[in-house]
């Protein structure tokens, strides 16, 4: 199923893991954020991996 929405809940520890795994969707100036122009469909596998790898489990997505 296609990912339609990605967001990051409060509690980011600024570890940088999401940006390392999926730089096309996540960026981290101070805390992790989802890029406004991110192509979610093209990066679905990496989004799921970033969410699964987040040490504080705050990366969420909606299918």
Q: What is the reported pLDDT for 10?
A: 96
CA–CA distance, 61 with 44 (Å, rounded to integer): 10
Per-residue pLDDT at 1: 82
User: Domain ranges in the chain?
Assistant: 5-62
pLDDT below 70 — which residues of the chain?
none
Q: What is the CATH number of domain 5-62?
A: 3.30.70.20
Q: Give 12-27 pLDDT, tens digit per residue.
A: 999 999 999 999 999 9
Q: In the prediction, which pLDDT does 37 show?
A: 95
- Do the beta carbons of residue 59 and residue 20 sit within 8 Å? no
- Neighbouring-strand partners of residue 8: 59
Rounded to whole angstroms, how far apart are CA atoms 36 and 52? 21
């Amino acid at each position: 199923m296609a990912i339609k929405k990605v967001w990051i809940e409060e509690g980011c520890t600024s570890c940088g893991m999401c940006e390392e795994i999926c730089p096309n969707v996540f960026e981290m100036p101070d805390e992790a954020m989802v890029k406004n122009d991110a192509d979610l469909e093209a990066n679905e596998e990496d989004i799921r991996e970033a969410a699964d790898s987040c040490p504080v489990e705050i990366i969420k997505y909606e299918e």
